[in-house]
Structure formats: structure tokens, C-alpha cells
Amino acid sequence: MSDPLQPSLLAGFDLGSTLPGTPKTAEQLPVARVVIDSALPHLDRPFDYLVPAELDAFAQPGVRVKVRFGGQELAGFLSERLEHGEPGVKLQPLGAVVSPEVVLSAPVLATARAVAERYAGTLWDVLRSAVPPRMARVEKETGTAAEATETNPPETNPPAADPGPVDPRVPNRHADDAPVGDQHGLHPHSVDSRDLGPSHVDPLHSPLLAEYDGGAHFAAELAAGNSPRAVLSAVPNRPGHWPALLLEAALAANESGRGALIVVPDARDLARLCTLLDERIGAGNYVRLSAEDGQTPRYRNFLRVARGNTNLVVGTRNAAFAPVKDLGLAIIWDDADTSHAEPRAPYHHAREVLLLRSEIENAALLVAAPGRSAEAQRLIRSNWALELRASRALLRAHAPRVIAASDEFEQNRDPLLHAARLPAAAWREAKRALERGPVLVQVARTGFMPALRCERCRTSARCTKCTGPLALDDARGAPSCGWCGLVAAGWSCAECGFMRLRAASIGADRTVEELGRAFPNVNVVAATGAKPLHHVPDAPALIVATPGAEPVAEHGYAAVLLLDGDRMMSREGLRTGEEVLNRWMGAAQLARGHEGAPGMPGGGTVVVAGEPSEPMRALVRFDAGAYADAELGERRVLGLPPAVRTALVRGPAATADKFVAALGFGDDVRLHGPVLEGEGEHRWLLFYSYAQGPAVTRKLRTLRASFSAAKEPILAIRVDPDGIL
């Protein structure tokens, strides 16, 4: 498709052809401030350019641009238009406006800045995950930027914050060939809460939220245009409960005329949520944003949001930056799930992104989960958010009966059950439950390295060099040290000299085999990350699943067996207990209630096997909040995260040491290190209070910038790293 608009956009202002006299620049707001694509920390600041007259109309805040910078052409985003640049700086002309689409809204930019600051990273690193890569063809498809002009006529000279993408002073050729509205079913209509009808949005019609203490008030506040903040642990035993609950909150926010955003951990949860949304409000009335949808669909959906064609966005972690117009409510589901953490620098977590964003945009925030993260508990403790609590009566009505099978575990003499590491109580319950419906068996992920013990005396196997715990490496099948990685060939027990380790590392597949023998004539299937299974029928079967991959049963599981608690608990780490409880709660939530509800079968039972532990007691009481609160209290006493904040600095020994010394922190920042890591690398850990967080990360950023300017090797900095302690 030949497009007469593109050449003029892309050619931009040609540097070489300096015409007689000064090249014409835009008459109004001739200076464009640009965020450039640079990996160098000391260039992580805006630079100003002159706007050539011919780019004036397109050079609006939020568009992608190309600029000449230090002899090379760089990509960037135009952040604002100004009357003057810094005095005494010679400005270069803007190179080109890549596309008139406004892809970076002012509040999203402000959020990205706050995230970069909070994680001591560069703005561009954050923007890379906030704005999906451009797919040029998608922009031409249907409903161009001109559509927005039609529905939302901009003023003669849009102010900086106005998202109106195209200045009407320039004839827009798109206006002629692009039909307004939609002929291909992509944009049925702009979704305004008014279109949805009152039956969906009346706060009195938030029955699920209203079941929680303060929930009805929360919904009413949202509908009234206020911005409350809340943490909620979802009541178990109601398949499909959480998507409906979150939708109620989102619709309440929509009713106030504001947009809503729901962020879920992974594609599976997103599929569940979308199924409900399709059913309740229709596929065209919300937008999903997920990196797993592929580049082109992702950008297509992103554009729908950027053009303001929706007021409900759902997606995975990057959707936390979705440019929802007038955001009224941000929701994060299951914030304890590790998928919410971005795996690339600056490793930001979707919960923290939404926290910052809700403050910047004055939006409401809802942190909802099957369990409770220590961070979410902190929000309650500090009175930043209120807790929407399920009453004990509500819990009792819906929670399954939880049985802790700790004592009989070791006395289990039945070889079949022993092989399947099934306590007799678990076997009994499963046998009974199979007469009434499906049974879920949660086993540890294969990648979850269990600590090994001597097969004869049960002494835990330790590394001969560093006394770290030995674990089985799936790839090699040989035990190796979990700390130093040394392969323990020819291991023998330090206590009794026995040479065999207790068999461990049983994946879901082997559990399927063992259970098949323990339960003849029962259908046994596996559901793992590699072989996902979304739904299971309401028929008797054993479903073996790894944490996070549990399929949903239509009317809940008759029983849920949590088998690998000890293996999961044996992992070293500060947050192991919390993680294990969250995994258990996630699975236990899929069980039927013990009492049953109208139209729902009862008799649901959860059997948790393993040594007695705090997480196990919390599961029995079905109270993740109390557990998180106790943990947080303990961490505060010990000065450990997330009661305090941490930062990690790693790099070549000399540079890292010099850097930490130059930080010049006083006693209020605890310093641990250096720890030798790899080839001549040093690792330092910093512990500091939340109050000092901004000051510490600011110092980390500025010092890193000056080190980078001085051509020192770039240091790895991670703020609040997970899984280090």
C-alpha cells in the first residue's frame, strides 16, 4: 500500500541540506524534549531538539522519534514540547517522527520514571517493556490515528498532556481513506461505561465483593470516583470466583467514567479471565495485552488502548504500563507469583509498578490473591491499604476441610503408597473422594531441587567442601552442591558411611506411574508447565499437577492432595515458607467446600503431607494473612526483607568496592560484603528502611552514572532482588 504520508514523515529534516538562512522551525513550542534509547546510565536524561516546521503537527508528546545524537541516529520518545531549551545549548533539529501514534502517555511516562528511580535502573530499560515494539503495518489496518481526531477533536494547539495525536492544521490524508468506526469488527464501539447498562455496574450488583468486610464500601467508592486501596485474599472453593470478583471491581471503576486495568501472572490465568469477560461483557468490550500473543497482535491491541478505544484492559505484567485513559483502578491478581517480576533490567515487579502508578494517577488499587504476600501484608500494616477480609463464617462456608498428615508419613509401610510417597490418610481421602469427583495431586516441580538425605540414617547430605545442601541436578542426574555447584561423585554419608542417597527428584510423570499402581482402574493424568491442561471434567480422575499448572475442575475437586511439602520446604531461602503456603493455597482454592453451597457439591478435603510447620498450620486455618503478618513481624525484628529494602551491587572486584565506598552511606544503611562471586567479581548487599529507599536508589543511580561516564565497567545493580537470601 503506497502511502503519501509516510515519506514526508520519515524523511524528516535533512541535516545536510542547510538551506540559505535558518531552517524554519515550528513557531509555537519549537523545542522538543526527547528520551533517547541509550544503554549508558550517564545519558539517561532528556535531550532537547528543535522541531522543524514540517514536523510540527506530528511532533506531539508521546510519539516515537528519531534523532541525531553524538554522530549516530537514535530512537526516542518525544516527552514534551517547550518554548525554550536550556540556555547556552545549541539544539539540533529533530530527525524524524516515526509515526504519529501517541504510544507513550504522560502518566505512563511518569510511572516509568518512578519505576526507573525505584529500581535504580535507566528509563529506557523500563520503557522497553512498557511500550511494545512498533509494527508499522498494524497502524494502517483500520481506524487510524485519524479516527481519534474524528471522535475527539483537538484544539488548535494541544497542550502537552493532550493525547490528541494529530494537529488539524496539517491536512491529514488518512482522514479521507480511513473509515471512522469499524468495518471489520475490530472496534465495535468505544467502550464507555454508559454503554454497558446499569445492571453490570451498580455497586449493589457487586455481590462477590460485598461478601468481604468493606467490599461493598470499596465498590461504592470506586463507583463514586474515589480511589481506595485494598488487599484481599480470595475465598477458596469457587471455581471461576476470582475473575468474577475482579470484574466486579473493574466495572465499579468504569461506572465512575474511569478506566480499569487487571494484571494477572500468566497466560493461563489470562485465558481464564478472558473467558469470563467474553461471557459477561463481550470480546469487543475489553482489550487484552500479553507478550505471548505475539508482536503483531500485541501491538494491535496496544494501539486500541493507546487510541482510547477501551476502558478495560487485562493482561500480563507489561500491561501494568498500558496507557489506559483516565485510570481509575489497577488490580493485580496473585502478586506472589514470580511471573510478575520482569526478568530483564531493572527487574521491576508488576505490583510495585501499579503501586507507583496508582499514586501518580491517583487511581485505586486492589491487590488480590489466593494467599498473601509479605509485601501485600506490609501495605495493610502501614495503613496504606485496607484489608478486605472474608469473615470466618464465609470461610467456613466455602473452605475445604484441611487434614495435616504429618505423623503417619514416616510410618507408612505399604510399599505402593511409599513409592508414591502417599500418607495413608491421603490415600484414604483420595479413595473416598474419587467416588464423588476429580482429585488434584500437587507435586513439586522437577526443577525444584530437593535436599538429599542418606538412605539409611536420614542424615542430610552436605557438600564436603562448603557444607551446602546437596541436591539432584535433573540434567546430569548426579548430586551437586546447591551453594557452590561442586558435583559430589562417590558420596558417602558423613555419619554412617552409607553410599546411597534417598531417591528424590520425582517429577510429575513418575508420580503418575506410581499413583496408577496405587489406584488401579483410575484415570491418572499429568498437568505440568510442559503439558498444560486448563480444564478437567467433573468425573473421577487423579490430576497430577505442579504448582501453578493446576487445572480448574468445573465444580471443584473432591479432594486436593499436597504431597511434596517437605521437598518444597527443604529449599534454602528466606521466603520458602511463604512460597510454599502460597502454592498450597493456590491448589487448595480449587477444592470444593466442605459444607457445599447451593448448586455446589460439598465434602471437599485437602490433605497436606509432611512435617508439621507454620505454613501447614496456616493452611489448616486457611489464614494466609495471619501467616504473612507473623512472618513480616519476624522479618522486622531481624531486619530482613520485605520488612526492609535491599539492593545488590555486583561487578569486577575493584570497581564494585570503589563504588560501594563512594556511596558514602552512614550507619542507617547496613552493608554486607564483599562476597566473592565468579571470576574476580564482588557482590555487596545493602539493607535500608523504606523511608530511605528513595534516597538510596537516587544515590545508586547518580553514582552509577558518574562511574559510567568515567568509563568504569558497568555494575549490575538490583533493587529488592528476589531469591538471593
Run of H or E residues at 303: helix 295-306
**Residues with Cβ < 8 Å from 683, sequence gap 6 or more?**
648, 649, 650, 656, 673, 674, 675, 676, 677
In the complex with DNA, the residue whose CB is nearer, 78 or 544, is: 78
Do the beta carbons of residue 649 and residue 717 sit within 8 Å? yes
In the complex with DNA, the residue whose CB is nearer, 42 or 113, is: 42
> Nearest CA to 600 among 608, 591, 609?
591
Least Å distance, CB 64 to DNA, is 17
Count interface residues toward DNA (CB under 7 A). 19
**Residues with Cβ < 8 Å from 264, sequence gap 6 or more?**
270, 273, 314, 315, 316, 333, 334
If one asks whether residue 87 binds DNA (CB under 7 A), the answer comes out as: no
Q: Which three cell numbers stand for residue 345?
A: 533490567
If one asks whether residue 83 binds DNA (CB under 7 A), the answer comes out as: no
Which of 3, 14, 73, 86 touches DNA by CB under 7 A? 86
First to last CA, the chain: 56
In the complex with DNA, the residue whose CB is nearer, 145 or 703, is: 703
In the complex with DNA, the residue whose CB is nearer, 86 or 278, is: 86
DSSP state string for 596-646: -BTTB----EEEEESS--HHHHHHHHT-HHHHHHHHHHHHHHHT-TTSSEE
Which of 8, 48, 170, 202 touches DNA by CB under 7 A? 48
In the complex with DNA, the residue whose CB is nearer, 2 or 72, is: 72
If one asks whether residue 184 binds DNA (CB under 7 A), the answer comes out as: no
> Residue 399: left (phi > 0), alpha (psi -120 to 50), or beta?
beta
Least Å distance, CB 43 to DNA, is 6
In 281-382, DSSP assigns E strands to 287-289, 312-315, 327-333, 364-369
If one asks whether residue 85 binds DNA (CB under 7 A), the answer comes out as: yes
Least Å distance, CB 38 to DNA, is 8
Asked if residue 484 belongs to a known ligand binding site, the reply is: yes
Pattern 534-573, DNA, x by CB under 7 A: ----------------------------------------
Asked if residue 481 belongs to a known ligand binding site, the reply is: yes
Which of 5, 42, 241, 725 touches DNA by CB under 7 A? 42
In the complex with DNA, the residue whose CB is nearer, 93 or 482, is: 93
If one asks whether residue 91 binds DNA (CB under 7 A), the answer comes out as: yes
The number of angstroms, rounded, from the C-alpha of 120 to the middle of its chain's C-alpha atoms is 19
If one asks whether residue 709 binds DNA (CB under 7 A), the answer comes out as: yes
Least Å distance, CB 65 to DNA, is 12
If one asks whether residue 89 binds DNA (CB under 7 A), the answer comes out as: yes
In the complex with DNA, the residue whose CB is nearer, 29 or 271, is: 29
Give the integer Cα–Cα distance in Å for 314 and 318. 10
Tell me which residues in 57-76 interact with DNA (CB under 7 A). 68-72
Least Å distance, CB 70 to DNA, is 2
Do the beta carbons of residue 231 and residue 367 sit within 8 Å? yes
DSSP state string for 239-282: TTHHHHHHHHHHHHHHHTT-EEEEE-SSHHHHHHHHHHHHHHT-
Which of 92, 296, 492, 576 touches DNA by CB under 7 A? 92
Other Cβ atoms closer than 10 A to 78: 27
SS3 call for 686? strand
β partners of residue 287: 313
In the complex with DNA, the residue whose CB is nearer, 89 or 393, is: 89
In the complex with DNA, the residue whose CB is nearer, 69 or 557, is: 69
If one asks whether residue 49 binds DNA (CB under 7 A), the answer comes out as: yes
Q: Which stretch binds DNA (CB under 7 A): 45-53, 177-185, 318-326, 352-360?
A: 45-53
> Nearest CA to 100 among 49, 59, 148?
59
Q: Which stretch binds DNA (CB under 7 A): 81-89, 303-311, 459-467, 714-722?
A: 81-89
If one asks whether residue 90 binds DNA (CB under 7 A), the answer comes out as: yes
If one asks whether residue 280 binds DNA (CB under 7 A), the answer comes out as: no
Q: Which stretch binds DNA (CB under 7 A): 37-45, 159-167, 564-572, 609-617?
A: 37-45
Give the integer Cα–Cα distance in Å for 115 and 642. 18
Give the integer Cα–Cα distance in Å for 238 and 235. 8
In the complex with DNA, the residue whose CB is nearer, 113 or 217, is: 113
DSSP state string for 527-545: E-SSS---EE-SSS-EEEE
Give the type of residue at 154: P
The number of angstroms, rounded, from the C-alpha of 327 to the middle of its chain's C-alpha atoms is 18
Give the type of residue at 611: E
Q: Which stretch binds DNA (CB under 7 A): 82-90, 105-113, 256-264, 424-432?
A: 82-90
If one asks whether residue 448 binds DNA (CB under 7 A), the answer comes out as: no
Which of 10, 11, 15, 40 touches DNA by CB under 7 A? 40
If one asks whether residue 23 binds DNA (CB under 7 A), the answer comes out as: no
Asked if residue 274 belongs to a known ligand binding site, the reply is: no
Sites of contact with DNA (CB under 7 A): 40, 42-43, 47-50, 68-72, 85-86, 89-92, 709
Which residue ranges make up the annotated binding site?
Answer: 454, 457, 463, 466, 481, 484, 493, 496
Binding residues for Zn(2+): 454, 457, 463, 466, 481, 484, 493, 496
